[in-house]
Structures are given as structure tokens and as C-alpha cells.
Amino acid sequence: MNKLPIIIFTIIFSGWSSLGFGHDQVNPDSDLPPLIKQSAVSQQGNPVESRVPVRDTPIRVTIDRQGSGFQIYRDSAPYFIKGVGGRHFLEKAAAAGANSVRTWGAQDAEALLERANGLNMTVMLGIWLSHDPADYENPSYKKRKTHEIQQLVERHRNHPALLGWALGNEINLEGADIESAWRFVNDLTYLIKQQDDHHPVISVIACNEKTLENIAAYAPALDAIGINAYGALMRLRAMVDNSSYHGPYLITEWGVQGHWEVKQTSWGRPIEPTSAWKADFQLQRYREDILANRDRCIGDYIFLWGQKQERTPTWYSLILENLPGMDNSRLLSPAADAMQYNWTGNWPANRAPEVLQLEINGIPAEKNIILSPGEPIVSLVQARDPENDPLTYVWELLEEPKQLGIGGSHEPKPNSLASVKKENSPALNLNAPLTAGEYRLFVYILDHQGHAATANIPFQVIAAEQTSVEPQSL
């Protein structure tokens, strides 16, 4: 029977607590409910849609060719998408200069459209499509999806906050990058345009050259392509230019190198960059790969305006919602500050702290930290604050996740073994867990001005009798 790891913190601090809270996923629609929200059932047993206000004043959105490039016009005025992925904390997004929000599915569409409209933001409304290639050979699936989309478009086509329709998200990632799927996307594009000639239709793909060829061949009715690109963002323009697709594109997910694109430990765990590194990455990539390509790139949606667990709870998270012992913290990261600068040209009046380095016993993550059970640890983080605000350090020790999501699907946050909050002290003394396994130590650095910087470092505990890096219960 497996024993729980035992963590021993040296008593040089106060206020530590063992935690076991869950993590509320701000997962962008990975477990998607039906596209059409249902609120009642008729006497015949058929779903009855919840009622929404009837509007007849849409704002026209077009994507026009201009010379060799393209330009979005909204209500006849030039428009460049400065967007966020995720439907939470939109007030913070609008205050930072964002003008649009992208969804992965259309649940609660009316409420989101209303909220965005009140903030002078637009919505790229996602329509979830299957990733199963068999569904695109299935007449029943295609008939049901067609009916859902007809109802969806009828309900929301006249909303003033609607920017466009986004068919699917990365259907090419799990086997549906096939002719029948893209022909169906093309059919759906025509269907939407028959009902709504005021808004463009796009499809969102994982960055892939073959997929661009398939879209050019089988889905030419699309007005633009949304491309999710992380570390590949710097190579994206060349890939598009070298393909048979000659239309506009937008970056529908980006923000940091993906966990599949970075260096790994010798036991196969990805090494996450610090929040300061992520902010610098976003500044450079926005300038060189988005703004510099405005002739074909019509905007972007940063990922993720919120927090989610995907290999770690901080990798893609621009807002930190739940820190140890601090529910609903909603702290802005350095990456959120960087996006405000990207969108407006101005930094916020008070900026997030910066993490320069995190080490265990003087060793960085790249050197593969392997410890013995109970071995003493000294962890030191180097950090600074632009305004010299006093800093608080919140430490948390997590097991590495055992259940991993695919393509952004739900991934539960692993067990939190212990946490501690320290004022004005960047060092932590502790002992390695007594149980062999894979772990990750996190530090959150708070400035008490609504910001937090982050860093984490993976390590492995191996018992003396082990002959491999595989964790073993004692």
C-alpha cells in the first residue's frame, strides 16, 4: 500500500499549512456542453431553447483585401483584434486595452455577448466541432451539428458585440485533418453565410502546414484561418506564405512556448520558464510576429486570460485565481502587464514583480535535481519589483501530475503537499519528501498591488536502492 509523502519544513518561518484544495478549471471549453443552451422540455420531449432578445441591428464586420494584404472593418472603421482567450475577468482585459474575446464553444453565448458589449468588446464566437474523424462520415452527426448551428446563428447573428464565427478548434490535432472534415467545414461556412452576411467565418487550427493545404483545397469559403501557435509563432508567417492558402490569418492562441516545445528533465518533465521570461517572450513575439505581419495577420487572442492546470497551474495562466490559502486572489502576472503594453503602448502604473532565477541547493532546473528521501533543501529565488514594493513569498509543493490532458483537455491539479507564506524572505528551508517520486516546488511572489510573479522547479526523489528514475513507493 502506497504511503503519503511526508514533508518536513524547517521551523524558521510561521504560518505554514498543509493544503489539499482542488483546482477550479478555467478550462476553455474542453468538456463542452451542447452548443444550444436548453432550459426546458416540451410536452413532446423535445428541448426548448431559452429565449433571448430579438435584435435587428447587427454591426457589419468584413475582411477586405487591400493590395497584397487584408484589413478588418467593423462598422466601416478599420479594426485590429487585440483579444483574450477565455471568458473570465473581462473587466480587467478591457481595462488593459483588449477589445475582443474568443470562445471555444457557444454555451452561455447571450450572457457573454451582453457582457462584452457593455465593455465595448467584441466576441469571436466559437462553435465546437468533433475531433473524431469518424463523425465526418456520419450523416447523423452532420445533420445534428448543422441544425445546432442554424439555431445558434439565428439567435445571435444580430448582436452588436458579435465579431465573427469560429468553426472548431484544432480538429486537425487528433485525426480529423481529412478531406471529409474540411468539406463539412466548408458546407457549414456556406450555411452560416446564407443566414448571416454581416460577419466573417473562420476555422481555428493547430499550427500545421498540411492543414493549410487541406483548407485551401477543401474549405475555400472560409474568410480567414485562426492558427494556434506557441513556440512556432516565429516561423508561422513563412509557413503561411509557403502554403497554397492565400487568405488572411489571425493568431487564436499564443503566449509562451508550449510544454511540448521546451527542455525537459532527464525523467521527462517539462521545465517551465519564469513569469519574467514569459513577459519578455510576449513583448518580442507581439512586435516581431504579429504587428510586423499586419498585412496578412488581422489580430490575435492571447492564451489564457485566467488560470488553468495544464502540466502546471501557471504555465499558460495570465491571471492567478487561486493561490495556496488565498482563494479568489485574481492577481495579474507579468505577462498580463506585457499585454497591456502590447495593446496600448503604455505600462500599468504599478507593475508585477520579476523572477530572475529559482534554484534548489544552488542547482537550476536544467541541471536535473535528484534528491534522496528526507534530504535537506535550501531553495532560493531571485526576484525584484519595479516599484520596490515589499514582497511576500508563497511557496507550494505539488506532486507532478499523473493524469495528463491532450490538446488542452481537462487535467486535474495534482496533490498539494504543503505550503508556506513568508514575508520579505526569498529563501525556504525544507526536507525532501520521504516517498520517492516526482515533485515540483512553486513560488508565487506578491507585491500587494494586485500582481504576482511565478516560478517553479521540478525535482525527483529517488531511494538509494532504486536503479532507475522511475518513482517507487516506500
Q: What is the pLDDT of residue 55?
A: 64
Determine, yes or no, domain membership for 14: yes
Residue 441 and residue 384 share a domain: yes
Instruction: Look at the block and give the residue holding cell 496533490.
Output: 415
Determine, yes or no, domain membership for 239: yes
Residue 448 and residue 419 share a domain: yes
Determine, yes or no, domain membership for 290: yes
Residue 280 and residue 207 share a domain: yes
Determine, yes or no, domain membership for 275: yes
Q: Give the pLDDT confidence of 379-415 residue by residue, as tens digits.
A: 999 999 999 999 999 999 999 999 898 878 889 999 8
* Domain end point (choices 344, 376, 404): 344
Q: What confidence category does residue 21 fall into, taking pLDDT thresholds of 50, 70 and 90?
A: very low
Residue 230 and residue 155 share a domain: yes
Q: Give the pLDDT confidence of 424-454 residue by residue, as tens digits.
A: 889 999 999 999 999 999 999 999 999 999 9
Residue 364 and residue 328 share a domain: no
Q: Give the pLDDT confidence of 83-130 residue by residue, as tens digits.
A: 999 999 999 999 999 999 999 999 999 999 999 999 999 999 999 999
Structure pTM? 0.86
Determine, yes or no, domain membership for 168: yes
Q: What is the pLDDT of residue 29?
A: 36
How many domains does the chain contain in total?
Answer: 2
* Domain end point (choices 316, 344, 372): 344
Residue 445 and residue 339 share a domain: no
Residue 331 and residue 392 share a domain: no
Residue 209 and residue 107 share a domain: yes
Q: CB 39: neighbour CB atoms within 10 A?
A: 9
CATH number of the domain within which 431 lies: 2.60.40.1930
CATH number of the domain within which 163 lies: 3.20.20.80
Torsion of CA 72, 77, 83, 89, to 10 degrees: -150
Residues 6+ apart with CB under 8 A from 237: 289, 293, 296, 297
Determine, yes or no, domain membership for 472: no
Q: Give the pLDDT confidence of 344-391 residue by residue, as tens digits.
A: 999 999 999 999 999 999 999 999 999 999 999 999 999 999 999 999
* Domain end point (choices 326, 344, 362): 344
Closest CA to 337 of 302, 374, 383: 302
Torsion of CA 233, 412, 317, 437, to 10 degrees: -80
Residue 390 and residue 292 share a domain: no
Which structural domain range is residue 457 located in?
Answer: 8-24+353-461
Residue 276 and residue 403 share a domain: no
Residue 149 and residue 70 share a domain: yes
Distance CA 425, CA 54 (A): 58
Write the CA distances from 9 to 128, 397, 399, integer angstroms. 47, 11, 16
Determine, yes or no, domain membership for 474: no
Residue 379 and residue 339 share a domain: no
